Chain A
Amino acid sequence: MANKESTFTNMVLTLFLVTLAAATTLGFIYELTKEPIAEAKLRKKNIAIQKVVPDFTNEPNAEAYDVAVEGDTLTLYPARKDGKLVGTAVAAFTEKGYSGLIRVMVGFNANGTINNISVLQHQETPGLGDKIEKGKSDWSRQFNGKNPEDFQLQVRKDGGDVDAITAATISSRAYCDAVEKAYKAFQKGGLQ
């Protein structure tokens, strides 16, 4: 089938040319998709912020700032309406999930109560742990309107005030951990 002989120069040359062509094409496509990828990520973030804080008129993403909590760095997005701070969205994460990383966006009202929470990323078990998602069950609504000051962000088994998801205590615990982290960051650096 192959017409060319398998001499050393032939082989090296072919492989080199093929790899070169591949690298050039990929570099080109990389440049082409770089912006849409960044846009898609930004859009996702903006939608998450919109979901968790009250109506705002500013651009929270442009005013984002970092706060260090217990060795991790969390990003806070202040939401303002007509110049007045109405809430803060905190992007938090935990690695204690049943299948590792869970990333959430927690929205606090200006007075420190939780307005709403949105899960950005998780790999929890379908049908069990994935009930932390809004679309899958009403479980996460129990946080809305609560102030972590007097609402212990721990599952009842551990002495807190959160009802764990049946058969998914680990996922519930991890979720609480992420929200707790967000609250700490909010306490430390929010209300600016």
Chain B
Amino acid sequence: MDYLIIVISAIFVNNIVLNRFLGICPFIGVSSKVETALGMTGAVAFVMTLATIITYLLQTYILEPFGITFMQTITFILIIASLVQLVEIILKKVSPPMYQALGIFLPLITTNCAILGVAILAVQSDYNLLESVIFGIANAIGFGLALILFAGIREHLDLMDVPKPMQGVPIAFIVAGLLSLAFMGFSGIV
């Protein structure tokens, strides 16, 4: 039951993009087409889940026992940066088509604050390993949901007659605001 609450809360109630404001850069930047949004989501889901597992182990078995939790930010970001590199190398070798599809998004992920944010949030919430993994996956789904919904709206927006000063980024933010407003309807369900 607890796991279900973590999942629903991460996807709908405290949606990582629309409510926690993490991962806004790719949200505004790469979500003008559904196809690219899907690619980005895949890459993020992969790295986010792995990063949450590794940072959890790092925190529990190295940082805390040695009393050096102040090194958290530095170690976490290094882990994420190397993980992104690793994923890139492995994908290139193992599955060239997938690398073709995700390749351009991978370098962008290091500075995607959603990854580091979820890793820190999982540690702060005192989740155990399994809960952290579920939290990581659920947030990746939440990220994907917001990104794909938003991309779908923006594809339609291209055909609309938007007032000139609002075109481009301003209207994207207004749409995001309305989407966030819609997601507020989920609040209170857990």
What are the residues of chain B within 8 A of A19 when measuring CB–CB? 74
Dominant SS among interface residues on chain A: helix
B188 touches A26 (CB 8 A): no
What are the residues of chain A within 8 A of B14 when measuring CB–CB? 99
User: Which of A30, A98, A99, A170 is within 8 Å of B70, CB to CB?
Assistant: A30
Check A22 for interface membership: any CB of B closer than 8 A: yes
A134-167 vs B: 1/0 string, CB under 8 Å?
0000000000000000000000000000000000
Show the binding face of B for A, using Cβ within 8 Å: 14, 68, 70-71, 74, 125, 187-188
A12-33 vs B: 1/0 string, CB under 8 Å?
0000000100110011001000
B74 touches A26 (CB 8 A): yes
A-B pairs, 8 with minimum CB distance: A30-B70, A26-B70, A170-B188, A22-B74, A26-B71, A23-B71, A98-B188, A26-B74
What are the residues of chain B within 8 A of A100 when measuring CB–CB? 125
Residues of A within 8 A of B (CB-CB), count: 10
What are the residues of chain A within 8 A of B70 when measuring CB–CB? 26-27, 30
A92 CB to nearest B CB, Å: 18
Closest B residue, CB atoms, query A15: B78
B42 CB to nearest A CB, Å: 30
What 13 new A-B contacts, CB under 8 Å, besides A26-B71, A26-B74?
A19-B74, A22-B74, A23-B71, A23-B74, A26-B70, A27-B68, A27-B70, A30-B70, A98-B187, A98-B188, A99-B14, A100-B125, A170-B188
| CA A75 to CA B14, docked complex, whole Å | 31
What are the residues of chain A within 8 A of B71 when measuring CB–CB? 23, 26
